[in-house]
Amino acid sequence: MSSRLACNEVINHAAYPIDETDNPARQQVIEQVKRELAADGCAVLRSFFSEAGLQALLAEATQRKSETYYSPRKLCNVYLNDGKPEFPEDHPLNVFIPRTNGFITADLFGEETTAHRLYYWDPLKQFLAECLGKDELFIYEDPVSNMIVNVGKPGQQFNWHFDTNEFTITMLLQGASSGGIFEYVPGLRSAEDECYDEVKGVLDGDRSRVKPLQLNAGDLQFFLGRFSLHQVTENTGDNDRLLLIMSFSEKPGMVGSKARVQNLYGKVTEAHAENTVRADKLVD
Ligand SMILES: [Fe+2]
């Protein structure tokens, strides 16, 4: 039986001393992330985890794989909502495309798990806030979806969509042997403008602004998914793709909309009963 790893042992501390605020190496990493995020809303820290940390996180996800939730709804629009019948049939709100991946939800990771402890580790949150140039960052308070594992079995995909929360970090725990590629369109919409024509262009097959990103197990990816349309292509390999996703917000008290959380994760809590807090007026 392995002993429990401290959070600074879960990460590749020699390269990423994120809990040492006076370490110049930490500042260099922050500057690198800031540059990459400013360029296109995405940044990658290669081999962010220690080998032991990656194995611990992978084991936790693997142990819970049988509890993965697959939505019975296999067609979704990019807003992961019900669409709007008053808009034309070919409007992006009413274009429904296949989404077949599943999720291991946050409530299945108890407080003792490495994933849970890492998500609530203050030095991580502080580091992320500085990378984003913000005074403070908040835990996404959705008890079902704030820290989840995206499961992509062979043949499954997570088609084009926008995220609810402004900011997500993802950590690939196990890549697909083929396919399962993350692709994104940087800054396709803004908080002020849905840019429906541009969204429709991508749905119609325009790949001129699409950027694929090769991720390896143990990499940490920063992503501004509220404004950049993104997808994971079909897993054409013979193993499961497992991706740990941690979400944060600029505002406290954010949770997913009741309909979206029910559809994606198959359960809601009392937290989903109230009106949802958003930093913008986008359709989700
Ligand atoms: Fe996403």
User: pLDDT tens digits, residue range 150-179?
Assistant: 999 999 999 999 987 778 899 999 999 999
pLDDT, greater one: 72 or 114: 114
Range 7-268 has CATH code 2.60.120.10:
no
CA proximity to 183, closest of 153, 204, 161, 200: 161
How far, in Å, from the CA of 2 to the mean position of ligand 1? 33
How far, in Å, from the CA of 162 to the mean position of ligand 1? 6
Average pLDDT value for the chain? 93
User: Worst-scoring range by mean pLDDT, 87-96, 112-121, 138-147, 159-168?
Assistant: 159-168
How far, in Å, from the CA of 230 to the mean position of ligand 1? 6
Round to whole Å and give the CA distance between 237 and 154: 6
Reported pTM: 0.91
How far, in Å, from the CA of 61 to the mean position of ligand 1? 18
How far, in Å, from the CA of 105 to the mean position of ligand 1? 14
Confidence grade of residue 275 (pLDDT, cut at 50, 70, 90): low
pLDDT of residue 148: 97
pLDDT, greater one: 1 or 262: 262
Q: Which amino acid is at 62?
A: T
pLDDT of residue 9: 98
pLDDT of residue 279: 66
pLDDT of residue 166: 77
pLDDT of residue 2: 55
Residue 207 has a CB neighbour count (10 Å cut-off) of 11
Round to whole Å and give the CA distance between 105 and 45: 25
How far, in Å, from the CA of 23 to the mean position of ligand 1? 32
How far, in Å, from the CA of 182 to the mean position of ligand 1? 10
Query: pLDDT digit string (tens) for 34-80?
Result: 999 999 899 999 999 999 999 999 999 999 999 999 998 889 999 98
Query: Which tokens is 81 given?
Result: 């909502």
What protein residues have CB closer than 5 angstroms to ion ligand 1? 163, 225
How far, in Å, from the CA of 25 to the mean position of ligand 1? 30
Residues 33/43, Cβ–Cβ less than 8 Å: yes
How far, in Å, from the CA of 32 to the mean position of ligand 1? 23
How far, in Å, from the CA of 89 to the mean position of ligand 1? 24
